A and B are shown apart, each in its own frame.
Chain A
């Protein structure tokens, strides 16, 4: 089915449309398992539209009657009309229309996609596959272009088409590497996001990790980790005490300091999963003598904004809360911690969403960290980082923001055995957890992240460490983004790559503190992966 799959199969086929065979998956120099898909349960199949492949990300309720089937199609069409309406989609209309109208169907973008590549060119993963289905539906059923059927082919729009297209929008990491290669400027990643939006904003169908347990939970409690402001302050206080002991460096994380220069916004997942990252920021900022604070206001202690991946309204609500917290404290600027999508959400996308009175300056932590490291204010001993280090470029901060060099300046300054992945910088590959997948583990999604979406990144990592892949050399993958770390953690753990290859991962601030002379040696804990 891999290569015989055609656009019209989306509406014609019965049952599961396709699968990715293990044999088709790219082989790696690392022992990353090819895990067979687990069969979806009968209950899942009866409850949800399990019609695309072996995964169910979106969980579209399966229509039970012809009336419900028709309703699904009609709602989808309503949503599509709204995507092309100025009032409802002013945010992305220009990009969507041009991406729909001007694609030349040249498929020059296919090879750029890591999903397409690692599946041996599976048609479902061709960036243009989903986009072209979307375009044909639009031209035939919404725009009703003259002779559309004759010109582009007759694509039947039924409930299976809708269900499969919705699910297809989640066979993409929204890394936009394909868009970078398009000669015309068409953006297939954007089309995937617009389909996700249609389902969320019109049909109210979205992955629970992004919506109920994501943006809605953040709007309710302040964080998708469910930590409220009291819990988060307690936890950070505990981190301060714990790491002050370990490092021999007394520090305290400031909270709600009015008039501070900087409001630092972390991804709150770090507090739970990687406290060493939180502590490292506090140590560096204190050692550099910065005037800074965290905020305990609603959502302001968690920089995540999952709306970035699926919903403009949820995006705007969260961005507003972040900006309002900064405004209330009267800080001079917001600095985003190591979270790629939080970077892009608040610095770039929110730039044309926030009203001028809330347009508090916002910047990435990387340039600031670079300036601190280079300033000479802190004494470093790079020999403490004398192990092989490679750098992963989070798509959101690098390809989509152009923040490339500051991280590298730090690496070159503090890591004697730094080596690049290839390609890197703005041409990087996604870690495989992009666009929300890093926080999803159900219905074969964790297998998909291992088998498919994370495969190319693991190939790059293996290549970067080709001269020292064995377990005798400890190696550090610097992934300065919470989601990327989550994805890489999973692949390392799942495949035992700590034991087999001594692969470790972490952020960039950990490397900085690890090299600080005023801190006890051994900040990076190699054992505790």
Chain B
């Protein structure tokens, strides 16, 4: 059992990182899409940002390189990620349930990273003292808030999905399975937290052992189950629709806010050149793509031109 816990932890960590990296690479390797932005655009500058305006409001906009504000984009994305602003604006009842869930997860992540930090310090020989006490107390609080948020949030979400007709129709086994798994995670974490003198110590020791490949008993059955489920979810979540937590970056920056004119980017221009040589196999009569003709050829063919070429 002990070895199994460590095995799941290693596999979960590697799978999580690998799936995220692979999905990001896969996205980045996709062909250059057309522009399809939607305003307001987060990185828009100055006064225009306040009403959703764009650089296209200027005559001869192309005479200036359009850069956008990095901090504007970051701020807009952070507001969205940290506060789930769009859900708050457009679906307050759901926000009241999904925000505790997400907030709980953020707290658990915060606690997790602090625990890794403490485990590294432990491995480097930092002796227990004020530092560990402070970090430990913080992790204890973060974890407790996190478990309560996840338990409360998932219960609220399950309840809403079951009882709100419009949501029930769109809720699948997948949703209940996912929410159920997170609820169980929160419960296992909560039971462990209540049943042990320090959740932080359990976590720090486990991570230190993991990092030094010492397969020592994690300390309690509930904690072992918590670890197994937690690392399994780490591998599972990025591969599902919940992978929006990292893909959202591209869905916002590259698509919704993707307003970079091609004239400002040799890379985009180069890609368009390549895309125009892609093969077309759409078979409607006005296209007759045979898998051989390129987009450039199809786009320069006029299927309804007068035979004499006059208009």
Residues of chain A touching chain B, judged by Cβ–Cβ distance below 8 Å, are 3, 6-7, 78-79, 82, 85-88, 90-95, 97-98, 101-112, 121, 123, 126, 128, 132, 150-153, 176, 179-187, 190, 200-204, 211, 216-217, 219-222, 228-229, 297-298, 313-314, 316-317, 320, 333, 347-349, 351-356, 359, 361, 363-364, 366-368, 371, 398-406, 425-427
B91 contacts the other chain (CB 8 A): yes
1/0 contact trace for B277-290 toward A, CB 8 Å?
A: 01111111111010
Residues of B within 8 A of A132 (CB): 170
Give the residues from 274 to 311 in chain B that come closer than 8 angstroms, CB to CB, to chain A: 275-276, 278-287, 289, 295-296, 298-306, 311
Interface contact B44-A153, CB-CB below 8 Å: no
How far in angstroms is the closest Cβ of chain A from B275? 5
Given the interface pairs A216-B303, A352-B34, the reply to whether A202 lies near B56 with Cβ below 8 Å is no
Interface contact B31-A86, CB-CB below 8 Å: yes
Residues of B within 8 A of A356 (CB): 262, 269, 272-273
| In-complex Cβ contact of B278 among A90, A101, A364 (8 A) | A90
Residues of A within 8 A of B173 (CB): 150-153
Interface contact B51-A405, CB-CB below 8 Å: yes
Interface contact A107-B248, CB-CB below 8 Å: no
Interface contact B250-A82, CB-CB below 8 Å: no
Residues of A within 8 A of B302 (CB): 219-220, 317
How far in angstroms is the closest Cβ of chain B from A202? 6
Interface contact A183-B57, CB-CB below 8 Å: no
How far in angstroms is the closest Cβ of chain B from A129? 9
> In the complex, A181 Cα to B269 Cα: how many Å?
31
Q: Can you list 7 A-B contacts (CB < 8 A)?
A: A87-B281, A152-B173, A182-B86, A402-B53, A404-B52, A406-B57, A425-B51
How far in angstroms is the closest Cβ of chain A from B50? 10
Interface contact B283-A426, CB-CB below 8 Å: no
Interface contact A95-B255, CB-CB below 8 Å: yes
How far in angstroms is the closest Cβ of chain B from A348? 5
> In the complex, A211 Cα to B52 Cα: how many Å?
33
Given the interface pairs A95-B33, A180-B38, A371-B59, the reply to whether A202 lies near B284 with Cβ below 8 Å is yes
Interface contact A404-B172, CB-CB below 8 Å: no
Interface contact B52-A426, CB-CB below 8 Å: yes
Interface contact A229-B311, CB-CB below 8 Å: yes
1/0 contact trace for B86-130 toward A, CB 8 Å?
A: 110111001000100000000000000000000000000000000
Residues of B within 8 A of A105 (CB): 167, 170-172, 175
Residues of B within 8 A of A405 (CB): 48, 51, 53, 57
B243 contacts the other chain (CB 8 A): yes
Interface contact A190-B174, CB-CB below 8 Å: no
> In the complex, A480 Cα to B101 Cα: how many Å?
45
Q: What is the size, in residues, of chain B's interface with A at 8 Å between Cβ atoms?
A: 93
Residues of B within 8 A of A401 (CB): 39, 54, 56
| In-complex Cβ contact of A402 among B39, B86, B276 (8 A) | B39
Q: Closest 7 interchain pairs by CB?
A: A402-B54, A185-B251, A90-B31, A426-B52, A204-B284, A108-B91, A183-B86
Residues of B within 8 A of A104 (CB): 241-242, 244
Given the interface pairs A88-B280, A367-B57, the reply to whether A217 lies near B304 with Cβ below 8 Å is yes
Interface contact A90-B32, CB-CB below 8 Å: yes
Interface contact A92-B34, CB-CB below 8 Å: yes
> In the complex, A325 Cα to B44 Cα: how many Å?
32
Interface contact A349-B255, CB-CB below 8 Å: no
Interface contact A298-B90, CB-CB below 8 Å: no
Residues of A within 8 A of B85 (CB): 183
Q: A204-B286, A220-B306 known; 14 other A-B pairs, CB under 8 Å?
A: A86-B278, A88-B280, A108-B86, A110-B166, A151-B174, A190-B36, A201-B282, A202-B282, A320-B300, A352-B32, A356-B272, A399-B52, A402-B39, A402-B259
How far in angstroms is the closest Cβ of chain B from A374? 11
> In the complex, A13 Cα to B138 Cα: how many Å?
57
Given the interface pairs A106-B94, A221-B311, A426-B52, the reply to whether A403 lies near B57 with Cβ below 8 Å is yes
Given the interface pairs A88-B280, A201-B282, A352-B262, the reply to whether A220 lies near B305 with Cβ below 8 Å is yes
Interface contact B59-A367, CB-CB below 8 Å: yes
> In the complex, A120 Cα to B58 Cα: how many Å?
40
- Nearest CB in chain A to that of B244: its residue: A102
Residues of B within 8 A of A402 (CB): 37, 39-41, 44, 48, 52-57, 259
Interface contact B52-A425, CB-CB below 8 Å: yes
> In the complex, A111 Cα to B166 Cα: how many Å?
12
Residues of A within 8 A of B36 (CB): 92, 95, 187, 190, 348-349
How far in angstroms is the closest Cβ of chain B from A482? 19
How far in angstroms is the closest Cβ of chain A from B103? 15
> In the complex, A112 Cα to B90 Cα: how many Å?
8
Interface contact A347-B170, CB-CB below 8 Å: no
> In the complex, A466 Cα to B251 Cα: how many Å?
40
How far in angstroms is the closest Cβ of chain B from A237? 18
- Nearest CB in chain B to that of A109: its residue: B90
